[in-house]
Amino acid sequence: MLQGRLAEVFPKTAKPLIAMAHVPALPGTPLYDGAGGLEAAIRSVRSDVEILLDAGFDAVMFCNENDRPYQLNPGLEAAAFMTRVVTECRPEGKPFGVDYLWDSRCALAIGAATGAAFVRCVAAGAWESDMGLWQTDAAWLLRERRRLEVDTMAIIVNVTPEFASPIGGRSAAEIARSVVVSSIPDAILISGPMAGSEPDLSVLSDVYQAVSKDVPVILNTGAKAATIAQYLDSADGCIVGTDLKEDGYTWNQVDPERAKRFISQARSDAGSSTAS
């Protein structure tokens, strides 16, 4: 169940449904649309946010999803461009979150600057990944949250990050249990191997049983209208992106009908437990 900072973000929502607002490739990245410019990216995100809010999602989360290949240490311009997009597209009257792939420092800075209610990041552990060896620093991140005086902003931590695997032999449940103690996250996220991919349901269930009494556990990838019921049995909410897109393709625009179908299915499956 929701508790702590996340319960304060969603005081009337038992199992929040959070939709991704994927930001097109930003300036300086290989897939950036130089002809359309940053204004085209902003129009695209603004359109998606309007559709998602109209469908009835409890929150949106902005992410630089198409800044491929991803960086572990982006430059200052990354935070600046992303901050502008979020500032111009953030919803009124609904909470929103920020993620920056794959730098928790950047996500925190953007979240602090834009008034985000939560940030998503990988803040604990060491990983081998498509981006190379990846080390994290939860101690720095939480101290920076305090220094910037954004203590109410929830930090939700991915312990099975996409495009990566842990260095070491601990199970996801063991990692999650340890992270809850050592890194004091506001929620634990469970992901599949890639964006849009479901995690193993048994892994989600094991993590939920291990830590849900202490922190919320959120399904981070792979949420689909057809299967959301079984996942919400072992999660305190979900983040969804790919299933809402035209043709179910991560890089496409949000499809209004798919967004409404997801909300309808998730609400009916979970009953009033997900109702705002």
**pLDDT tens digits, 2-24:** 999 999 999 999 999 999 999 99
The total of other beta-carbon atoms located within 10 Å of residue 31's CB is 12
- Indicate whether 276 pLDDT > 60: no
Cβ atoms of 107 and 150 within 8 Å: the answer is: no
Phi first, then psi, for residue 97 (nearest 5°) are: -125, 170
Distance set, CA 163 to CA 26, 102, 194, 196, 198 (Å): 20, 11, 6, 12, 13
Q: pLDDT tens digit string along 177-219?
A: 999 999 999 999 999 999 999 999 999 999 999 999 999 999 9
Residue 222 has, within 13 A of its CA and on its CB side, a CA count of 23
- Indicate whether 73 pLDDT > 80: yes
Beta bridge partners of 218: 189
Q: What is the mean pLDDT of residues 254-275?
A: 82
Q: What is the mean pLDDT of residues 145-170?
A: 97
Distance set, CA 118 to CA 28, 48, 92, 155 (Å): 26, 19, 15, 6
Q: Which residues contact 212 (CB under 8 A, 6 or more apart)?
A: 1, 236
Cβ atoms of 99 and 70 within 8 Å: the answer is: no
Domains in the chain, CATH or no CATH each:
15-268 (3.20.20.390)
Q: pLDDT tens digit string along 79-115?
A: 999 999 999 999 999 999 999 999 999 999 999 999 9
| The pLDDT of residue 273 | 44
| The pLDDT of residue 271 | 53
Report the alpha-carbon distance of residue 51 to residue 63 in Å, rounded: 17
Q: In which band, very low, low, confident or very high, does the pLDDT at 268 lie, cut at 50, 70 and 90?
A: confident
| The pLDDT of residue 1 | 87
For β-strands 217-219 and 187-190, DSSP reports them as parallel
| The pLDDT of residue 272 | 41
Q: CA-based angle 126:111:98, to the nearest 5?
A: 65
| The pLDDT of residue 54 | 98
Q: pLDDT tens digit string along 101-156?
A: 999 999 999 999 999 999 999 999 999 999 999 999 999 999 999 999 999 999 99
Q: pLDDT tens digit string along 25-44?
A: 999 999 999 999 999 999 99
What strand order describes the sheet that includes 132-135?
132-135, 126-129, 164-166
